[in-house]
Structure 1
């Protein structure tokens, strides 16, 4: 791969200019650290900026450094205050870094901030100071996705890949040729929507990919394919298939509050729609369950704050687990 060193230097000169514009006076050492170059390179770049007509000047001494003449800055027109704030709020540093776009996002934010008028720039900074978006859910780590940048490159370039991956429901590894249409981040987990033969694209969890080899084969995404709409439709179908039965329960007020932190929205809605009992504020409800095994684990987390009334096999599962725990701690 050939590197365009002139383009690289032009980009670095622009970054240097924007750093001085955003932060004011900076020493050569500070600029070198930000740009990941040597101090000598900073000296040369400052001279190049000055030669091109940028009013940059240096001040010697302990408190010196490089700065731009007051009033020199670029402007970006057409953005409202709300739009500027939304752009800075949309910058997800964690996911961008996993996609291999961390430096690109940082550079883009720097350029945007430099181009904003002073009033909008202050408001945009407040958004970054006061809001932080963390995609993964509690009690779980984000996916380990070493092949995510390669999948993202294939999506961007519209090139097929050959992968070996592990299916969650079977121990054997599978090899597939994939045409990746798009990538989705859901609750800290990365997925790729890809065509692998058949009628419709399927969804693959990227952390399950063990090996990936890019292919020199281009593909075309079907006309009219909408990644967001496809994902929404798939999520709705999955939700419909998820619930395999129902359970009748009695649950205390403390159990309801705990349930709100751990259960799916459909379960919480079913409990809220239940029938209140007196005394004590307990209520009866019919909740959807995925399976007896899954429901057992979810309801055991509530301890004595919930009682299963039906089905009988689920009630016996919790009773047996309770007896075993009593014997263990007795």
Structure 2
């Protein structure tokens, strides 16, 4: 296989795909609209699962390096009632550390390694044709490739080449904030959160705090609301957003609300998904990975599936005999089946985690965590 391969997007899916190809001696060029790796905050921590994200890293030859960077203790989970009562306090034992956490920026840097990434190269569209697939860039340039892999997330510019599907709003919004140097600046909150994550579930809303490395904590306020819930709130005004959230969570225990009171900036992230069984008629020279192919609620599966998508497609192309188009087509069939199962589970999970009955969330947690 010596084809011109373009990867659009430098998230977990695209970088894993390119890194596995690189391990097998095949080049791919990654195009990323961001101007540099640190052009925007990389997001929170990820729980990489043994049969998914960790399997992908193993295929890339990076599993040992991942294990050195990861935080097994980050799997710990505390669940509180809205009055502050501790309902569940689970900490992983020596035999329960199979799915450790890793910061997204650490994972990104691990995957980047020697890859050829062209930063600041936003793609506007791709056009399949008889002589290859033409990639149109935001700067007006065009390049032609034999295979274009769309790994450019929820609002993919590659997706329209194969599918008319667009993400739709779930009815749940997430507002993200963060705490820095929590152990020194907010020791009470550090103890409240513990080594991993803290979750508090109320009627149609939840607060989740998640430790990252270096004393950094991400806080997510999730609630059911119309997409235009913020009509009278200036999202650029941190104090206005804070006041709105504190009113929304009024009556919750003071230490829990301190997660919002001490948050720095606020980022509005309404949750969108693609149809649960999103498929398409194969288009020669173009395919999709990760969120571009199967955007689902953010309940721990997305990045894992994205990485395994990338690793499996790259490995199949690098080692499999026969026509690359047949290889891609066969991969798509496997990806659709797997993603469909996870999309059903995460969609049902979101319904239970942001529910009129907070007991649903605790029951769901009991199903997926050891006793």
Interval containing the TM-score (normalised by the shorter chain): under 0.3
Per the normalisation by structure 1, the TM-score is: 0.23
TM-score, structure 2 as length reference: 0.21
Higher relative contact order (CA 8 A, sep 6+): 2
